[in-house]
Amino acid sequence: MTETYWKQTWRELVEGFSAEPAQGENSLLARWGKKVKSAGYTEHRRKRDRDDPLMRFVIDRVGPEDTILDVGAAIGRWSIPMAKKARSVTALDALPGMLDLLRENARDEGIDNIQTIQGDWSTAEPGIHDYVLASHSAYTSPDIVGYARKIERHARKACYIVLRVPMHDGVVGELSDRIHGNWHDSPNFTVGYNALLEAGITGHVVMEEPVRHWSDTSLDDALLRAKRHLRLSVDDHDEAIMETLQRRLVRRGDEYRWPDGMQSALIWWRPAN
């Protein structure tokens, strides 16, 4: 059986990121771990303090006797608020440094009903829970359908996957199509949702609004941002990127505002079992 278009597109996008150094201090996971550790607890609290309609949607459905599995829990942005409502939370993450910070953050807030497990979702077997959540943790899995099916097998009541939403008129999409031949620069909601739909997983969608648009203080900073998203080396396509940025970004005061930005979507469904 051949893979469907969207499932294969997801795989190719993940493998594009996996082409970066896979091990050592330059790996994607290691660099993310350093970033989170340097941000520390203050950044963790700042992100949780803002109103998050996706988190609110999930927590509103959790009862005091429910158990929750948080896949790719990182430092507890979802685990800690959910633990305040649920009977218990199991926080799974591949990086021990993430879980160290999660436990520290939980202690600071008087939370004692979170169990942490170090491991990768592809091999972990953390048992059955009422709800299973994977917030922005599916991007390293080349098989998004297999990832979701495993979530189903571990959930009694509902499954939740949160993915970033690409902007339909985004500069990064335009540049990715021009440079890489694919409008999608990375795994995202559009690709993931359609892959799941093709596989027979008909998820409901809750969309985060409004978009938190990117901004940069200079075109040089915007150039670096674009190249980071496009995974380009030094001096690759600089002229073409700068031309696009000058044409597409809007100057507002001391900043250059992008049509691109941060927006997430929650896909949720009830497991077949």
CATH number of the domain residue 197 falls in = 3.40.50.150
Query: Is 248 domain-assigned?
Result: no
Mean pLDDT for all residues in the chain: 90
Task: Show the DSSP H helices in the chain as ranges.
Answer: 5-18, 28-49, 53-59, 79-83, 96-108, 144-153, 171-180, 189-198, 219-230, 238-248
Average pLDDT over residues 44-56: 71
Question: Is position 236 within any domain?
Answer: no
Q: Which of 211, 199, 88, 82 is nearest to 147 (CA)?
A: 199
Is 226 part of a structural domain of the chain? no
Q: Is residue 153 part of a domain?
A: yes
Query: What are the pLDDT digits (tens) for 19-35?
Result: 654 444 444 455 455 55
pLDDT band for 48, please (50, 70, 90 cuts).
Answer: low
**Over residues 157-167, mean pLDDT:** 97
Does residue 58 lie within any of the structural domains? yes
Asked if residue 250 belongs to a domain, the reply is: no
Does residue 254 form part of some domain?
no
List the single range of 9-13, 33-37, 184-188, 192-196 with lowest mean pLDDT: 33-37
User: Tens of pLDDT along 84-95?
Assistant: 999 999 999 999
pLDDT for residue 22: 40
* Euclidean distance between CA atoms 211 and 84, whole angstroms: 28
Take residue 268 and report the two structure tokens written for it: 């949720």
- CA nearest 13: which of 133, 135, 173, 158? 173
What is the domain range of residue 93? 5-167+183-211+262-269
Q: Report DSSP state, residue 19.
A: T
Task: State the distance between the two ends of the chain, measured CA to CA, in whole angstroms.
Answer: 25
* Mean local confidence (pLDDT), 191-220: 96
Alpha-carbon distance of 71 to 133, in angstroms, equals 6
| Number of separate domains in the chain | 1
Q: Note whether residue 233 is domain-resident.
A: no
Is 216 within 8 Å of 255 (Cβ atoms)? yes
The SS3 of residue 118 is strand
Structure tokens belonging to residue 217: 């203080």
Strand, helix or coil at 193? helix
